[in-house]
Structure 1
Amino acid sequence: MARVLIADDDADYRAAFSKGLNALGHEVDAVSEGAQVEKAVTEADRPYDILFLDVMMPAGGAATVLHRMTVIVPDLPVVIITGRAEVADSPLFKHGMRLARARVRKTADLKELDALVRSLTAE
């Protein structure tokens, strides 16, 4: 199973997403701010297989974190997530996050997210 890092400032979503992926056998860590992502990735005892990154978070939004991750860990698949329809339909989400391997809405069900994890981590 995959080792997953979730970066999202919505505590309820972060907890539910983590719990769901854990139930499917994935190992999950989670942070609440963009600034915590780099620390989690660089200080991890084992590398992460995939990063789910919320578009809008305090202390470092997705664009900054995404670009930083492509430098630090270029092989780490990053999936951009958002719960806001206006963001999901925006050029920023569709084109500005082109370095991300995928972009999904938070309304995606757990089965879809698990399939995405498996496809991007070649499980």
Structure 2
Amino acid sequence: MARILIADDDPDYVAVFTDGLEALGHDVDSVSSGQEVLPLLRQKSFDVIFLDVVMSGGGAISVLHQIRAEFSDLPVVIITGRPELIDSPLFVSGLRLAQARMHKTATLRQLDEVVRTLTPA
């Protein structure tokens, strides 16, 4: 079981994502803005974080760099509902510090595989 933080401002996506990961035995917390990420990381320990590219209070690029400054070993997976962004040069360059990039259309199985890869027992 992994402790997962989801940072995304789409409540419907977060609800489905959370329910699925919890059904697989993971412990999941979520925040809806980039501003909420660091305060929660300072309060709780997580094994992996899923970070949305575009959200209020700071998207993935700015938040990822802040995470790396304080939590250099925390695996971060960037998620986006905008497929055109995933391979754009700015996206790739700005998010090179992330361990993985995924579309929001990824299946629960794919998400779980990423979690298990990044959080070996």
Alpha-carbon displacement from aligned partner over 1:48-98 (angstroms, at most 9, x marks no partner):
000000000111111111001111111100000001122123112222200
Number of the residue aligned with 2:58: 60
Distance 2:49 2:8 in 1: 11
Structure 2 matches for 1:16-27, cutoff 5 A?
Answer: 16-27=16-27
Aligned residue among 90, 93, 98 for 1:92: 90
Structure 2 matches for 1:25-64, cutoff 5 A?
Answer: 25-44=25-44, 47-64=45-62
Segments of 4+ moved more than 4 angstroms: none
Identity, % of aligned pairs?
A: 57
Number of the residue aligned with 2:6: 6
**Structure 1 length normalisation: TM-score?**
0.95
Report the aligned-residue RMSD: 0.9
Alpha-carbon displacement from aligned partner over 1:36-55 (angstroms, at most 9, x marks no partner):
000110012xx100000000
**Structure 2 length normalisation: TM-score?**
0.96
Query: Mind listing any 5+ residue stretches in structure 1 that lack a counterpart?
Result: none
Query: Mind listing any 5+ residue stretches in structure 2 that lack a counterpart?
Result: none
